[in-house]
Amino acid sequence: MPSPINLFHATTALLALALLAGCAGRDPDSTAPEKQPQAEQPITQTEQEQLRQQAQRGDLDSQFQLGSSYFVGQPEKNLKQAEYWWKQAADKGHAMAAVSLAYLYTGRDAPEFANQRDMLKYLNQSAAAGNPMAQHVLGNLYRRGEGGVSRDPDQAQRLYQSACQQNYELSCAALGRQ
């Protein structure tokens, strides 16, 4: 039986890979992992209900994890529910929920969720909260002038530096390429 923490780590890794490969693009010289990590076992209905109860009581991590379980389809895929629970947590300051919403709003998994304004809102919120993955992705957008932001290499460098100071290797590598 997987713990919600295992689901959290697997979901975080999946979202990180999706954001880095999709939303922000990849440089031809970057190395990508050969295999995406997967959750060991699906979350059960009982675990889902326990998460729901904690989420309804306002626990931000449970809200994030519940949204993530709906996103990855454990036990069922429901992007509306993923959006709802991530928004609950993100609007109260949960940085991973905010970056997850930013990804959802790229529309890459479901075009009906595409919303560039909200994608930037939540990506900026997560980056401002110190999330190095969000800082890196936002840095990529500024470096390229994509995703509704103007090209700004200085802002990109500041974001990469902040993420690199948190040992986010892709940002450290990006600083070396500039």
Same domain (yes/no): 63, 86: yes
Question: CA 56 to CA 135: how far, in whole Å?
Answer: 30
Q: What is the pLDDT of residues 43-95, one digit of tens each?
A: 778 888 999 999 999 999 999 999 999 999 988 899 999 999 999 999 999 99
Same domain, 147 and 91: no
Domain assignment present for residue 150? The answer is yes
**Whole-angstrom Cα distance, residue 79 to residue 3?**
22
Q: pTM for this structure?
A: 0.77
pLDDT digits (tens, 9 = 90+) for 6-40: 444 444 444 443 444 344 443 433 322 233 334 44
Question: Are 142 and 109 members of one domain?
Answer: no
Kindly state the DSSP code that residue 75 receives in the 8-state scheme. Answer: S
Q: How far apart are CA 107 and CA 162, in angstroms?
A: 27
pLDDT at 74: 86
Are residues 48 and 116 part of one domain?
yes
Q: How many domains does the chain have?
A: 2
- Tell me if 28 is assigned to some domain: no
**One domain for residues 62 and 102:** yes
Q: Tell me, yes or no, whether 136 and 168 share the same domain.
A: yes
Q: Which residue range forms the structural domain that includes residue 111? A: 44-121
How far is the first Cα of the chain from the last one, in angstroms, to the nearest whole number?
Answer: 45
